[in-house]
Amino acid sequence: MRTQVGIIGAGPAGLMLSHLLHLQGIESVIIEKRTREEIEGTIKAGVLEQGVVDLMKETGVGERLMREGQFHKGIELRFNGKGHRIDMHELTGGKYVTVYAQHEVIKDLVEARLKAGGEIIFNVGDVSLHDLDTNSPKIRYRKDKNGDLQEIDCDFIVGADGFHGPSRPSIPASVRKEYQKIYPFGWLGILAEAPQSSAELIYANHERGFALVSTRTPEIQRLYLQVDLNDTIANWSDDRIWSELHARLETHDGFKLIEGTIFEKDIVWPRSYICDPMQYGRLFIAGDAAHTVPPTGAKGLNLAVADVQVLSRGLDAFYKSGKTDLLERYTETCLRRVWNSERFSWYMTSMLHRFHDTTPFEQQMQLAELNYVTSSRAAATSLSENYVGLPMEW
């Protein structure tokens, strides 16, 4: 098989890139280790920056988002038994916090690609990358996991295959500089059939640990609890989860969390990770393959889309004029935004969580920061601008 751009991974980064390239008249093929049912059924967080919403609308894949997404004007920071709302819509000149689950974004992009005749090869195995430092790199894989070995000849390869995929390790270790921070706690997340307890997201700092009230649909709620680093789902019965959520979210004015039927539980372990460079020869990596952020700042999917916006512009310039300057600056351009998002996610995480070695002094510093950001217009504006998404720098 021959294509201009071979893409590994049918997550938001890979699918959005293929969609943008199609609109520019550039051919691509996506390979994905999971089935279509698996990628469309894996439920993940979905808080979209205004720029991502605008891009989906502008490129023709935003119709269902605009119909079914939830557009919030702010968030609430809760501490010392009291809620403090930050009006991000007003502070950012009319931008929204948009809640639209990641698997819904994937559904929209898969449908658009297949409708346009794009090729997505699902359920592949044994993916490997070859000849990256030549003008004709190759992707090899096995069709249907254990089937015959296949090869795709490309002009460029894009690794959008997540943190554990084969793309990043294909950049020689001698070239890669890696930055990482492992946070000393987990996030226990649940999906529950229940009415909304809050019209907007709630981020709670509590002496027992962090809690988050989010949502997926008016009928499906997503909630999180900070848990011990070595904790397991087996330790958390439904009753214990609801009891802990009530304790961490209670307020002096009698806030009532509405319980429901929990139908999914999982624990994730937040980390910050950055690979520099995000390119090697004719290979470019994007999204979680290149960087991960703790979920506190809601930046993962948004950074993935920002990466491929930069890359699509560079590839468009290459095929139209032969110019490579945008591609050569891909890492530099993307990492400016990545590091800022890492900073913001670290800030939110540090302000809201209890660390195993948090001293009484540090607890008071957290509360002082929360008091400041909820009482100072300048501080609230800074938080809001970062949360809804800063303008893209090209």
Active-site residue set: 72, 203, 295, 299, 387
Angle, helix 50-58 to helix 300-321, in steps of 10 degrees: 50
CB 338: neighbour CB atoms within 10 A?
22
3-state SS, residue 160: coil
In degrees rounded to 5, what are phi and psi of residue 307? -55, -50
Do 262 and 272 contact (CB within 8 A), yes or no?
no
The dihedral built from the CA positions of residue 312, 318, 323 and 327, taken in this order, carries a sign that is positive
Comparing CA positions, the residue from 266, 256, 281 lying closest to residue 222 is: 266
Q: Residue 9 burial by CB count (10 A; 0-12/13-18/19+): exposed, middle or buried? A: buried
Query: Could you tell me the two tokens for 347?
Result: 């800030």
Angle, helix 360-375 to helix 330-352, in steps of 10 degrees: 110
Q: Are strands 291-292 and 271-276 parallel, antiparallel or unpaired?
A: antiparallel
Do 70 and 215 contact (CB within 8 A), yes or no?
yes
Query: Could you tell me the two tokens for 261?
Result: 């039927």
Distance CA 288, CA 247 (A): 34
Do 334 and 278 contact (CB within 8 A), yes or no?
yes
